[in-house]
Amino acid sequence: MRNYPHPIIAREGWLFLGLALLASLLATFRWGLWSLPLWLLSIFILQFFRDPARTVPENANAVLSPADGRVVVVEKTEDIYGAREALKISVFMNVFNVHSNRAPVNGEVEKVEYFPGKFINADLDKASLQNERNALLIRAGNGEMVTCVQVAGLIARRILCYVDRGDSLERGQRFGFIRFGSRVDVYLPVTARPKVTVGDRVFATETVLAEFQPL
């Protein structure tokens, strides 16, 4: 997979933004100030699809956040995708967060599996297993397994994933996008040390979710 550059506005939003701006301009010429709701919609679309570049931390043992948002789960549980006990850290994205998903570790994608499902509020724990989702199993450079699951939410109805089995990922590399509010679950070895707690605000790539135990 080619490394998709950071264009400031995510490519997934170009069509939506173009249509909103066109409608706003036409409404302005025809109705003047009555076009204000369309301009507000354009501004919302612009902020939703923003895609800023991020700085990758130097810590080689760090597991980076794959998404912007708020931490809603830090617990030991079963990773059903990797068939193991794991440390689970979940990040909830609301409609005002950046929705690009970025690789938490360097590694190779061993498996990509899509699951159809519901669209309940992604802030709820049951969303992890009941909602539409897409799971990536990544074999990190140190040999550890990292499972990264994109979960659709109440409003989100479209999960986009641009990697497949055998692809190599670098930390901070953009691998997908989820439209309009969602969640990303990360499953790590139980020996990993969490560096965040429930309620923390995190930023994709720049926030360290956890650290692997040094080999």
Residues with catalytic roles: 182
Amino acid occupying residue 66: P
- Using DSSP's 3-state secondary structure scheme, residue 12 falls into helix
Q: Which helix (H) or strand (E) holds 147?
A: strand 145-152
- Using DSSP's 3-state secondary structure scheme, residue 6 falls into coil
Beta-carbon-side half-sphere exposure of residue 117 (alpha carbons within 13 Å): 22
What is the torsional sign of CA 164, 166, 167, 168? positive
- Measured CA to CA, the distance from residue 151 to residue 135 in angstroms comes to 9
Radius of gyration of the CA atoms of the chain, in A: 18
- Using DSSP's 3-state secondary structure scheme, residue 194 falls into strand
- Measured CA to CA, the distance from residue 95 to residue 73 in angstroms comes to 19
- Using DSSP's 3-state secondary structure scheme, residue 118 falls into strand
